[in-house]
C-alpha cells in the first residue's frame, strides 16, 4: 500500500523541532492505466491557499506561514496528491505549530475501500508505524462548516490531530500539530476552509453515501433507502427533503433550517483493527456551512451499562471533567415526542462552543442528540427543533 507521504512531511516537521522546513519527499508516478483527476498544485495568495482544480480555499491560522504547494504525480494519472504545509515559529525545545493539508485521488484505491473510515484506518496504521500513539478524543470535528472524522495522536512532545473526509473523488486530510490538544484545537478553529461543492464533490449525495462502503447496511440519503441488507442496524435511516427518518429507532426529525446533512461515517475509529468496533453508531450529522457554526449529531451507543439517559449523562460529565469541559446544567428530565429524555448542558473553553446532550434509552441503546453552537441562544433554537421528533408506530416507517 502506498505510503502517506504528506503525513510523513507533517510528522517530520513536528518531530524535528529545530528544522527550518519540512523535508521534501518524492512520489514516483504510477504506471497504471487508470485515469486520475486533472489537478494543479494551486497557489498561495496572502495567507490563503487557493486551488480551483481541487475546489477549495484554505486560510491559515495567524502565526503560520504557508510553504510552496506541491503536486505529487502527474495530472490525469494515479496516484495523485496535492499537498501544502504551513509552519509556525521554530522555538527550540517546543513542538512547532503546523498545519498540513493534502488531498488524495480516491480512484487509486479499490472502490470498496474509499470511505472516510477506511482512509482513517490507513492513517492510524501509518502513524503507529511512525511511533505515534492514538489518543482518545472527540471522533469528529467541524472545519468550514463541514464534518470531518478526527483522530488524535501523541509522540514525545508532539500532539497531533488528523481530520479526514472522503468525498466523491478525493480524500481531504488536515493535520494540525503542536505541543498539546489545546494548541491543535486553536489551530483548527482558526483555519478557514471554503469548498466548491461541485468541484470538490463534498456536498453532493454521492459524497454523503460514499462514507459507507457499497455493502453497508445503512445510508443517509433517500436514494439509497431500501437498499439495506436484511439485518437491521442502529444507523439504518435516510434523509428525504429536510426530514431524517431512523428506521431502527422508528422516529422522524426535521433538520433545522440552514443545517446540511453531512457524512454519517464519523463514529469512533477502531484503533486496533483486530478488535471489533465499539457499539457506537452515528445516525445523522447536520451542520451549518457558514459562521457562526451549528450542528446536530444523533448517535446511538450500547446502553448495557446505563439504566437510563440520566446515568449515561453522569458518565459523560465525568469524562468531560477530565477533558476540561465544564458541565453547566443537568441532567434534567424532558418529555419529547411522548418519550422521556434527559438534558445536560456543557461548555468547552478550548473550543469556545456550547454543547447540549439530550438522550433516552431505546432498544438496548442510548439514543443521544448532541447539539453544538457558539452561543446559548443558538443552542436553545436547536433544542426547540427536537419538538419535531415523532416516534412512529409499526407500519408508519
Mean pLDDT over each residue of the chain, to the nearest integer: 79
152, burial (CB in 10 Å: exposed 0-12, middle 13-18, buried 19+):
buried
Confidence of residue 231 (pLDDT cuts 50, 70, 90): low
Mean pLDDT of 230-250: 86
Q: What is the pLDDT of residues 130-159, one digit of tens each?
A: 999 998 766 778 787 777 888 999 999 999
Asked whether the beta carbons of 247 and 236 are under 8 A apart, the reply is: yes
Q: Where are the domains of the chain?
A: 5-200, 216-391
Q: Is the model more confident about 133 or about 304?
A: 133
Per-residue exposure over 6-20, b if at least 16 CB sit within 10 Å of its own CB, e if not = bbbbbbebbbebeee
The total of other beta-carbon atoms located within 10 Å of residue 287's CB is 21
pLDDT of residue 290: 65
Architecture, CATH, for domain 216-391: 3-Layer(aba) Sandwich (3.40)
Residue 191 has pLDDT above 50, yes or no: yes
Q: What is the pLDDT of residues 258-283, one digit of tens each?
A: 888 875 444 333 333 333 344 678 88
Is pTM beyond 0.85? Reply is no
Residue 13 has pLDDT above 80, yes or no: no
CATH, domain range 5-200: 3.40.1000
Domains 5-200 and 216-391 share a fold: yes
| Omega within 30 of 0 (cis) for the link into 292 | yes
Confidence of residue 370 (pLDDT cuts 50, 70, 90): very high
Q: Which of 91, 87, 112 is nearest to 101 (CA)?
A: 87
Residue 230 has pLDDT above 80, yes or no: no
Q: Is the model more confident about 70 or about 201?
A: 70
- Chain-centroid distance of CA 295 in Å reads 12
Amino acid at each position: 500500500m502506498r505510503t502517506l507521504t504528506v503525513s510523513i512531511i507533517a510528522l517530520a516537521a513536528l518531530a524535528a523541532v529545530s528544522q527550518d522546513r519540512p523535508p521534501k519527499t518524492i512520489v514516483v508516478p504510477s504506471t497504471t492505466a487508470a485515469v486520475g483527476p486533472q489537478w494543479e498544485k494551486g497557489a498561495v495568495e496572502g495567507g490563503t491557499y487557493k486551488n480551483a482544480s481541487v475546489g477549495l480555499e484554505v486560510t491559515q491560522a495567524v502565526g503560520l506561514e504557508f510553504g510552496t504547494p506541491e503536486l505529487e504525480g502527474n495530472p490525469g494519472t494515479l496516484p495523485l496528491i496535492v499537498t501544502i504545509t504551513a509552519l509556525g515559529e521554530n522555538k527550540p525545545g517546543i513542538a512547532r505549530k503546523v498545519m498540513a493539508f493534502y488531498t488524495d485521488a480516491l480512484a487509486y484505491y479499490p472502490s470498496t475501500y474509499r470511505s472516510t473510515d477506511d482512509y482513517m484506518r490507513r492513517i492510524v496504521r501509518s502513524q503507529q508505524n511512525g511511533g505515534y500513539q492514538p489518543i482518545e478524543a472527540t471522533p469528529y470535528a467541524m472545519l468550514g462548516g463541514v464534518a470531518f472524522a478526527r483522530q488524535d495522536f501523541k509522540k514525545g512532545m508532539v500532539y497531533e490531530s488528523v481530520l479526514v473526509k472522503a468525498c466523491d473523488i478525493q480524500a481531504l486530510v488536515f493535520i494540525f500539530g503542536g505541543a498539546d490538544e489545546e494548541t491543535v484545537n486553536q489551530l483548527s478553529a482558526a483555519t478557514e476552509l471554503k469548498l466548491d461543492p461541485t468541484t470538490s464533490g463534498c456536498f453532493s449525495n454521492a459524497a454523503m453515501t460514499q462514507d459507507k462502503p457499497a455493502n453497508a447496511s445503512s445510508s443517509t440519503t433517500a436514494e439509497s433507502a431500501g437498499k439495506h441488507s436484511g439485518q437491521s442496524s442502529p444507523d439504518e435511516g435516510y434523509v428525504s427533503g429536510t426530514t431524517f427518518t431512523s428506521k431502527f429507532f422508528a422516529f422522524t426529525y426535521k433538520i433545522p433550517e440552514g443545517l446540511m446533512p453531512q457524512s454519517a461515517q464519523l463514529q469512533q475509529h477502531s484503533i486496533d483493527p483486530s478488535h471489533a468496533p465499539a457499539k457506537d453508531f452515528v445516525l445523522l450529522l447536520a451542520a451549518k456551512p457558514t459562521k457562526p457554526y451549528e450542528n446536530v449529531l444523533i448517535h446511538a451507543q450500547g446502553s448495557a451499562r446505563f439504566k437510563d439517559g440520566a446515568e449515561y449523562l453522569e458518565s459523560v460529565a465525568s469524562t468531560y471533567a477530565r477533558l476540561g469541559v465544564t458541565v453547566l446544567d443537568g441532567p434534567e428530565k424532558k418529555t419529547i415526542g411522548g418519550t422521556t429524555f434527559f438534558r445536560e448542558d456543557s461548555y468547552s473553553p478550548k473550543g469556545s462552543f456550547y454543547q447540549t446532550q439530550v438522550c433516552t434509552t431505546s432498544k438496548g441503546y442510548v439514543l443521544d442528540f448532541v447539539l453544538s453552537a457558539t452561543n446559548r441562544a443558538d443552542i436553545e433554537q436547536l433544542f426547540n427543533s427536537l419538538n419535531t421528533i415523532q416516534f412512529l408506530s409499526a407500519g408508519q416507517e
